[in-house]
Amino acid sequence: MRMYDLIMKKKHGEVLTEQEIQFMIDGYVKGEIPDYQMSAMLMAIWFKGMNDLEITELTKTMAKSGDMIDLSAISGKKVDKHSTGGVGDKTTLIVAPIVAACGGKVAKMSGRGLGHTGGTVDKLEAIPGYRTVLDRKEFFDTVNKCGVSVIGQSGNLAPADKKLYALRDVTATVDSIPLIASSIMSKKLAAGSDCILLDVKTGSGAFMKTLDDSIKLAQTMVAIGEGAGRRTVALITDMDTPLGFGIGNSIEVMESMDVLKGHGPADLTEVSLQLAANMLYLVGKGTPEECREMAEKVIADGSAFETFCTMVKAQGGDDAVLRDYDKFAKAPYKADVLAERDGYIVKMNAEEVGVTSVVLGAGRETKESSIDFSAGLMLHKKYGDKVKKGESLVTLYTSREDALKEAERMYREAVIIGDEQPAKEPLVYARVEKDKVEKY
């Protein structure tokens, strides 16, 4: 078999066989197929797509390229959650302890920030002492003891995805349904949970910009999960506007704790409750409505917050910062961006807001960059809000004084103030289950 022939086949929109997909992925992981040939294949897939059988085979082959984790040492049903990536998306920090406090088990391996989107592992590392690398036994023990453990992805989880993702990132081939679906689901299948809840983001800050594409991506991933014997549900949630008010690592930890303490922002609380309710539904705790009530109860009685603190302590973190935010290291420089006119926020480009946070130091400019945990943005006005000339739209935080000017310029470009109040957009657009799409 020759990679050249497979590229030619896909270029003409033909279907690749199981053996061809295995040959291509195995050869690429072993270094026998060079990046330039795989780049051509990725671009051919981007243009010509793949059918469901090809996507399933690609996902399975990528999952099996590394460890397939056996979670049977953890008692009870395990549920995983994955977001396709967003700005200000800190829901894992909220839903994982909620689900654990309600009796579900969450053994979660999370990723780092990618491009303009933040990553859970970076946020958790903003908690002093928190270890995101645990060996298998400690990971399992922590879930058995606390109901939840969130760690970084182990080096050998779907290594084919790691290599392919890095190549897609630099060849403009990230935003392809077969490639995103196989990337995400290969990691989820390898990570071993019984059930999977997918949060498919839609809008300007998401990889999928339209609702139709987001639903198609969700259906593709749900079909892969169910086909592999994992109960899988997807929610399509808004990422036209950042979620919550805080963007940045320690800022997002604080805002997540606000939700767990019962006084978080309304949008973040609502999306988190719907995600948590669906995770509890997947592990058999009741109907989605009953599960939502359970989730609300563990916020109200403080047990979800205490569950998060217990996990943090078990992983070496200092939970004092979660109880008293003044204990977090503070950014030495800050600046407010003031409204230049009266009106309403009629547009907020979430991707550009995410890039602004990277410029401030909250994300990585290159793979090697280090993160400034204290950097980020605190929004004061969001999409649809009324603003008065001179009012602060956002406070920028950074350790790099010279970044403030550029960040202010970018933020001004991301946000448009107009005359008419725009119509509200839904927070959750749709729910996708096997063979079923409910639009809200």
Contacts of residue 69, defined as CB under 8 A and 6 or more positions apart, other chains included, come to: 136, 157, 190, 191, 192
Burial zone of 222 (CB within 10 Å; 0-12 exposed, 13-18 middle, 19+ buried): buried
**Catalytic residue at 161?**
yes
Contact range with ligand URA by CB under 6 A, out of 41-49, 178-186, 334-342, 394-402: 178-186
Residues 89, 122, 161, 267: which is the catalytic one? 161
Binding range to ligand URA, per CB under 6 A, among 179-187, 225-233, 344-352, 399-407: 179-187
Structure tokens at 250: 């320690």
Question: What are the strands of the beta sheet with 436-439, ordered from one edge?
Answer: 79-83, 195-202, 231-238, 428-433, 436-439
User: Candidates 99-107, 177-185, 343-351, 424-432 — which segment interacts with ligand URA by CB under 6 A?
Assistant: 177-185
Sites for ligand URA among residues 147-176 (CB under 6 A)? 174
In the complex with ligand URA, the residue whose CB is nearer, 109 or 179, is 179
Residue 175 or 385 with smaller CB distance to ligand URA: 175
93 vs 404 by CB, closer to ligand URA? 93
Which residues have CB under 8 Å from 46's CB, separation 6+? Answer: 173, 176, 179
Please list every residue from 207 through 266 that binds ligand URA, using CB under 6 A: 207
Catalytic residue among 81, 82, 162, 230: 82
- Give the nearer residue to ligand URA in terms of CB position, either 67 or 141: 67
Q: Out of 184, 378, 387, 410, which residue is the one contacting ligand URA (CB under 6 A)? A: 184
Q: How many CB atoms lie within 10 A of CB 228?
A: 16
According to DSSP, the β-strands at 195-202 and 79-83 are: parallel
Question: Smallest distance, Å, CB 326 to ligand URA?
Answer: 34
How large is the C-alpha radius of gyration of the chain?
A: 21
Least CB distance from residue 188 to ligand URA, whole Å?
9
- CA dist list (Å): 347 to 214, 237, 436: 21, 18, 32
Tell me how many residues contact ligand URA (CB under 6 A).
8
User: Is 424 tagged catalytic?
Assistant: no
Binding mask 64-93 for ligand URA (x = CB under 6 A): --------------------xx--------
168 noted as active-site residue: yes
* Closer residue to ligand URA, CB minimum distance, 157 or 407: 157
| Strand order through the sheet with 386-387 | 386-387, 343-348, 415-418
State the Cα–Cα distance between residues 55 and 33, nearest whole angstrom.
20
Q: How far is the CB of 226 from ligand URA (least distance, A)?
A: 19
Nearer to ligand URA, 120 or 374 (CB): 120
Residue list 10-69, contact with ligand URA (CB under 6 A): none
Residue 270 CB coordination number (10 Å): 16
Which residue shows structure tokens 């979670």? 71
Q: How far is the CB of 181 from ligand URA (least distance, A)?
A: 8
- Catalytic: which of 154, 183, 204, 250? 183
Residue with tokens 């897609």: 168
Q: Which is nearer to ligand URA, 179 or 355 (CB)?
A: 179
Rounded-to-integer distance, Cα 105 and Cα 285, Å: 12
Rounded least distance, CB 42 to ligand URA, Å? 11
Q: Which residue is nearest to ligand URA (CB)?
A: 183
Rounded to whole angstroms, the Cα distance separating 173 from 179 reads: 8
Taking the complex as a whole, how short is the minimal distance between the CB of residue 158 and ligand URA, in angstroms?
9
Instruction: Candidates 92, 183, 356, 374: give the one binding ligand URA (CB under 6 A).
Output: 183
Give the Cα-Cα-Cα angle 378, 248, 126 (nearest 5 degrees).
130
* DSSP helix/strand/coil, 360: helix
Bridging pattern class, strands 106-110 and 148-152: parallel
Residues that bind ligand URA (CB under 6 A): 84-85, 174, 179-180, 183-184, 207
Catalytic residue annotation: 82, 161, 168, 183, 187
